[in-house]
Chains A and B, each alone.
Chain A
Amino acid sequence: MDAQELIDCLSYFRESVTARRAEAELVGFDGPVVGTCCNFVPEELVWAVGGRTIRLCGGSADWEAEGEKVMPRDVCPVAKSMAALPKMDPRLWGRLDLLVIPGSCDAKMKLADILRRHKAIHVMDVPAVKDSEPARRYWQAEVERLAARIEQLVGRKTTRHALGEAVRLSMRRESLLRALLDLRHGNDGRGALLTGEQFQFVAGASFADEPSRYTDRLAKLVAALLEAQRAGYHAVGPGAPRVMLCGAPLIYPNFKLLNVIREAGAVVVADDSCAGTQRFYQHLAPRDWSRRELLKALADRALLASMCPCFASSDDRMSRIREMARISRADGIVYHQLRTCVLFAAESEILRHELAPAGLPLLVVDTDYSAGDTEQLRTRIAAFLEILATAKPFAASTHG
Chain B
Amino acid sequence: MRIKRITLWRRIVQTACFAVILYGVFLWEKPVATPLPKIAPGTPRTSLYPRDRALWVSGQDTVLEMYPPTLSCRSIAKGGLFKACAHHMMSENLTWLSDPRKVVPHLLLFLLLSFLFARYWCGWVCPLGAITDFLNGVRKTLGIPGWQVGPATDTFFRGLRHFLLWASLAISLLIALPVLGLKGVNDSLFLVYCQVCPARIIYPVLGGISPCLYDVTDAMTIFLTVLSGGFLLFFLSGFFVPRLWCRVCAIGALVSYFNRGGAAWIKKDPSKCTFCGTCRRCCPMDIEMVYREREKADVTDTACLYCLRCVQECPEQGCLEAKLLGRIVARS
By a beta-carbon cutoff of 8 Å, the part of chain A in contact with chain B is 131, 133, 136, 160, 178, 282-283, 285-293, 296-297, 300-301, 304-305, 315-316, 319-320, 322-323
A133, A296, A319: which contacts B281 (Cβ < 8 A)? A296
Q: A293-B145, A315-B294 in contact; A320/B140 too (CB < 8 A)? A: no
Complex Cα distance, B278 from A282, in Å, reads 10
Among A287, A304, A315, which residue has the most Cβ atoms of chain B within 10 A? A287
Contact partner, A288, options B146, B270, B294, B313, Cβ 8 Å: B146
Contacts of B282 in A (CB 8 A): 285, 287
> Which residues of the other chain, B, contact A323 by a CB distance below 8 angstroms?
271-272
What is the minimal beta-carbon distance from B6 to any residue of chain A, in angstroms?
14
Q: Which residue of A lies closest to B314 (CB)?
A: A283
What's the nearest-Cβ distance from chain A to residue B64, in Å? Answer: 38
Q: How far is the CA of A378 from the CA of B197 in the complex (A)?
A: 74
- Verify B281–A287 contact, CB threshold 8 A: yes
Whether the Cβ atoms of B276 and A304 lie closer than 8 Å is yes
Chain B nearest Cβ from A360, distance in angstroms: 14
B151 interface residue per 8 A CB criterion: yes
Chain B residue with minimal CB distance to A281? B274
Can you name the residue of chain B whose Cβ is closest to the Cβ of A168? Answer: B1
Which B residue sits closest to A292, measured CB to CB?
B145
Q: Which residues of B contact A297 (CB under 8 A)?
A: 281
Residue of A whose beta carbon sits closest to that of B283:
A287
Query: Closest residue of chain A to B270, judged by CB?
Result: A319
User: Would you mind naming 28 contact pairs between A and B with Cβ atoms under 8 Å apart?
Assistant: A133-B151, A136-B277, A178-B315, A282-B276, A283-B274, A283-B278, A283-B315, A285-B281, A286-B281, A288-B140, A288-B143, A288-B146, A289-B1, A289-B140, A289-B143, A290-B143, A290-B146, A291-B145, A292-B145, A293-B145, A300-B277, A300-B281, A301-B276, A304-B276, A304-B277, A322-B271, A323-B271, A323-B272
How many angstroms between the C-alpha atoms of A324 and B284 in the bound complex? 30
In contact, B146 and A282 (Cβ under 8 angstroms): no
Q: Which residues of B contact A322 (CB under 8 A)?
A: 271
- Total interface residues on B, using CB and 8 Å? 22
The DSSP consensus for interface residues of chain B is: loop
Report, nearest first, the 10 A-B pairs whose CB atoms are least far apart.
Answer: A305-B276, A290-B145, A305-B274, A283-B315, A304-B277, A288-B140, A283-B276, A292-B145, A285-B278, A287-B281
Q: Label chain A's interface by main secondary structure.
A: helix
CA distance A316 to B294 in the complex (A): 9
Known: A315-B294, A322-B271, A323-B271. A290 touches B278 (CB 8 A): no
Taken residue by residue from 256 to 282, chain B's Cβ proximity to chain A (1 for < 8 Å, 0 otherwise) reads as: 000000000000001111111110011
**Alpha-carbon gap, A364 to B144, bound state (A):** 51
Q: Which residues of A have CB within 8 Å of B270?
A: 319
| CB neighbours of A131 from chain B (8 A) | 275
Tell me, rounded to whole Å, the shortest Cβ–Cβ distance linking B132 to chain A. 15
Contacts of A283 in B (CB 8 A): 274, 276, 278, 315
Give the interface centre of B140, B273, B275 by most chain A CB atoms within 10 Å: B275
Bound state CA distance, A288 and B146, in angstroms? 9
Q: Nearest residue in A to B279 (C-beta to C-beta)? A: A285
**Of all chain B residues, which has the CB nearest A300?**
B277
Closest to A301 in B: B276
**B275 touching A304 by the CB < 8 A rule?**
yes
- Scoring B residues 123 to 151 as 1 if CB is less than 8 Å from chain A, else 0, what string do you get? 00000000000000001100111100001
Please provide the chain B residues from 24 to 68 with a CB less than 8 Å away from any CB of chain A in the complex: none
- In the bound assembly, the distance between CA atoms of A126 and B125 in angstroms comes to 44
Tell me the B108-122 residues at the A interface (CB within 8 Å).
none
Chain A nearest Cβ from B209, distance in angstroms: 35
**A136-B151 Cα distance, complex, nearest whole Å:** 14
Find chain B residues with CB under 8 A from A291 CB. Answer: 143, 145
A177 to B277, CA, bound (A): 19
Among A283, A289, A293, residue most surrounded by chain B Cβ atoms (within 10 Å): A283
Task: State A174–B275 Cα separation when bound (angstroms).
Answer: 17
With A288-B140, A288-B143, A290-B144 in contact, do A320 and B274 touch (Cβ < 8 Å)?
yes
A178 to chain B, nearest CB (A): 7
B281-312 interface with A by 8 A CB criterion:
281-282, 294
- On chain A, the residues within 8 Å of B151 by CB distance are 133
Chain B residues contacting A282 (CB-CB under 8 Å) are: 274, 276
Q: Bound complex: CA of A133 vs CA of B145, how far in Å? A: 20
A300-B276, A300-B277 are known; give 7 further A-B pairs, CB within 8 A: A178-B315, A287-B281, A290-B145, A296-B281, A304-B277, A319-B271, A319-B273
A305-B275 in contact given A160-B143, A296-B281 (Cβ < 8 Å) = yes
Task: Specify the chain A residue showing the minimal Cβ separation from B319.
Answer: A323
The complex places the Cα of A285 from the Cα of B144 at a distance, in Å, of 17
**CB atoms of B274 and A316 under 8 A apart:** yes
Measured CB to CB, the closest approach of chain B to A327, in angstroms, equals: 8
What's the nearest-Cβ distance from chain B to residue A68, in Å? 37
Chain A residues lying within 8 Å of B276, measured Cβ to Cβ, are 282-283, 300-301, 304-305
